[in-house]
């Protein structure tokens, strides 16, 4: 199971604007004055530093393992997660197309194209920003493999310029079964979008993923990078020319990954990634020309997710402004994008004094950003990445402050401090002292809502396990899962930092690929920073010893 279709959080309709509707309001975290909130945040970070330091390199290594546990298809000899085996080897056979491969998005076995593509986009963005840090930690090869496992599948799924296979499997039948993927007996029906049944959101996100990945592979595999870019350009043209929501074309996806925000954010998102990959002015012209009618400069959003890309769009556009990578006639529109990007940043900081209760993100007692009860951790990890990236863009441009709605400001250093605090919360700096990254630390969830992890490994027992047998013998067990889903980030605690480690509690114990993807970059960056901090601590001590010896 996964989150039910919901609207984007804290969406405010601008005068004359258009865009996604807010499904429900909630109390803002901004009850505390902004400065007081900032001080509390910095104290939280300081307390983390004074306590047990987090091993970000270990977290990075384990996060990349998780993607191997989520693989569908024929597993390679280099597969490190030994309790998984080949699965989904006939995917696409009924439709006469090879759809073997890709990722299962969560604890079940449907291959959903929209969240899979977003996962790959965020993995790629992590590498674009922090790839050197990933390489320094010795994990470059594994990170590239994680991206390529997704993009290889997208190449297969993009069978014609105007045709993309967007789903394999059926969520309804899948959820009646509790089986290992190696034993699957559920439907593997495949569903596509094309000219007659458009899906601009899934095609746009897949274009973004392939464009971003092309940047990543440009140095190590230029031929592959060129191939990815070719597919990305075709997919964007298809998505833009034949516009429509993919959940209107594929009814089976509506209960699981409905595109509530529509497709306009994905078209802007894809255009920005294609601009970054190609430097072609036509893509930036598109983002500027469509800024108003597509809601890019109208929607002040305080969530960023597989469905709602506006905050990511706005931050990427702000980057172009900060770096001066634009023409003079783009400037005023990019400034509007940047104002909305800073609304998102300030919303996370609880610093927007204008805009009402929905202008800021709620915060749990322990300091976690809280958007909604179902898989809230996805909003935490994605926010951490966006905040860190934006703080870096500001630093590179020599900008020290962020302007918030209502006139208050925030220092760029506070933006990154919040990002780090959210990562540390995930790793165990929270009221329960539990790591929500499975396999990391002394205490983490042991009953993750995940079929393969909860059943004896196929390699140990090849005896077939049927649909109901899995429920009867494995799902209801109170014991820990026989397989540790290392690197998974579960849905996480509620607004009061409460968490119940129970397999049936899928709102909190199911993990998703798009929870972990942005953390690859964050763990790599924080690992470098932690190493630099240790070196700085050693340097003064060494110089003191040298000076004392010289005096003697």
Residues catalogued as catalytic = 449
Cβ neighbours for 46, distance < 8 A, ≥ 6 positions apart: none
Beta bridge partners of 409: 403
Q: With H, G, I as helix, E, B as strand and everything else as coil, classify residue 103.
A: strand
Nearest-angstrom CA–CA distance, 380 and 491: 10
Max intra-chain CA distance, the chain: 86
- Indicate the Cα dihedral angle 24, 245, 214, 528, nearest 10°: 10
100 within 8 A of 132, measured Cβ to Cβ:
no
Non-local CB neighbours of 353 within 8 Å, separated by 6+ positions: 30, 34, 359, 404, 405, 406, 407, 408
Estimate to the nearest angstrom the gap between the alpha carbon of 231 and the chain centroid.
22
Closest CA to 67 of 523, 520, 521, 522: 520
Query: For residue 516, what are the CA distances in angstroms to 2, 63, 363, 380?
Result: 15, 7, 21, 10
Joined tokens for residue 425: 């919360």
Q: CB under 8 Å to 33, separation ≥6 — which residues?
A: none
Contact 264, 291 (CB under 8 A): no
Return the bridge partners of 402, or none. 410
Q: How many CB atoms lie within 10 A of CB 280?
A: 12
**Per-residue three-class SS string for 259-289:** CCCCCHHHHHHHHHHHHHHHCCHHHHHHHHH
CB-facing half-sphere around the CA of 29: CA atoms within 13 A? 29
User: Do the Cβ atoms of 8 and 20 come closer than 8 Å?
Assistant: yes
**What ranges make up the beta strands (E) of 301-363?**
362-363
Distance, in Å, from the CA atom of 516 to the CA atom of 307, rounded to the nearest integer, reads: 16
Specify the 3-state DSSP secondary structure of 437.
Answer: strand
Using CA atoms, how far apart are residues 351 and 360, in angstroms rounded to an integer? Answer: 7
- Consecutive H or E run containing 133: helix 113-136
Place of tokens 């490190």: 80
**One-character DSSP codes across 213-271:** HHHHHTTT-HHHHHHHHHHHHHHHHHHHHS---HHHH-GGGHHHH--TT-SHHHHHHHH
């Amino acid at each position: 199971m996964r989150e039910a279709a919901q609207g984007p959080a804290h969406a405010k309709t601008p005068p004359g604007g258009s865009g996604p509707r807010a499904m429900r309001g909630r109390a803002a975290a901004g009850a505390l004055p902004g400065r007081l909130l900032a001080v509390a945040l910095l104290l939280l970070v300081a307390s983390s530093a004074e306590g047990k330091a987090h091993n970000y390199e270990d977290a990075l290594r384990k996060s990349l393992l998780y993607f191997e546990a989520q693989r569908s298809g024929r597993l390679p000899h280099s597969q490190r997660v030994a309790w998984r085996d080949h699965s989904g080897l006939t995917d696409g056979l009924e439709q006469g197309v090879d759809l073997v491969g890709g990722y299962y998005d969560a604890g079940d076995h449907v291959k959903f194209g929209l969240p899979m593509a977003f996962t790959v986009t965020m993995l790629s963005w992590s590498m674009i920003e922090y790839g050197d840090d990933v390489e320094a930690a010795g994990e470059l090869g594994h990170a590239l493999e994680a991206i390529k496992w997704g993009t290889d599948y997208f190449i297969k799924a993009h069978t014609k310029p105007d045709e993309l296979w967007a789903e394999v499997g059926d969520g309804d039948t899948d959820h009646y079964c509790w089986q290992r993927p190696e034993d699957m007996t559920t439907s593997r029906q495949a569903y596509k979008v094309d000219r007659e049944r458009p899906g601009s959101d899934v095609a746009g996100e897949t274009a973004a993923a392939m464009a971003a990945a092309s940047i990543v592979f440009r140095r190590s595999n230029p031929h592959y990078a060129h191939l990815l870019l070719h597919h990305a350009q075709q997919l964007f043209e298809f998505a833009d020319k034949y516009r429509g929501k993919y959940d209107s074309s594929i009814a089976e996806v509506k209960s699981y990954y409905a595109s509530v925000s529509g497709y306009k954010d994905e078209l802007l998102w894809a255009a920005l990634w294609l601009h970054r990959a190609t430097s072609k002015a036509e893509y930036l012209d598109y983002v500027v020309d469509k800024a108003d009618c597509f809601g890019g400069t109208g929607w002040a959003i305080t969530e960023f997710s597989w469905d709602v890309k506006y905050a990511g769009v706005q931050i990427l556009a702000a980057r172009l402004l900060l770096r001066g990578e634009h023409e003079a006639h783009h400037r005023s529109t990019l400034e509007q994008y940047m104002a909305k990007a800073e609304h998102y940043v300030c919303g996370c900081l609880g610093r927007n004094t204008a805009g009402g209760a929905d202008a800021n993100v709620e915060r749990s007692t322990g300091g976690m950003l809280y958007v909604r009860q179902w898989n809230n951790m996805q909003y935490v990890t994605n926010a951490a990445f966006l905040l860190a990236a934006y703080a870096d863009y500001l630093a590179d441009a020599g900008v020290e402050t962020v302007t918030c709605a209502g006139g208050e400001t925030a220092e760029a250093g506070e933006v990154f401090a919040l990002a780090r605090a959210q990562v540390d919360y995930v790793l165990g700096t929270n009221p329960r002292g539990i790591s929500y990254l499975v396999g990391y630390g002394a205490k983490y969830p042991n009953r993750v809502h995940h079929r393969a992890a909860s059943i004896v490994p196929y390699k140990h027992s090849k005896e077939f396990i049927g649909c109901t047998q899995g429920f009867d013998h494995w799902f209801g067990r109170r014991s820990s899962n026989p397989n540790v889903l290392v690197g998974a980030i579960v849905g996480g605690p509620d607004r009061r930092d409460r968490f119940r480690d129970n397999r049936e509690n899928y709102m909190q114990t199911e993990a998703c690929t798009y929870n972990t993807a942005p953390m690859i970059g964050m763990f790599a960056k924080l690992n470098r920073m932690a190493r630099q901090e240790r070196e700085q601590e050693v340097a003064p001590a060494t110089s003191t010893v040298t000076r004392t010896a010289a005096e003697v």
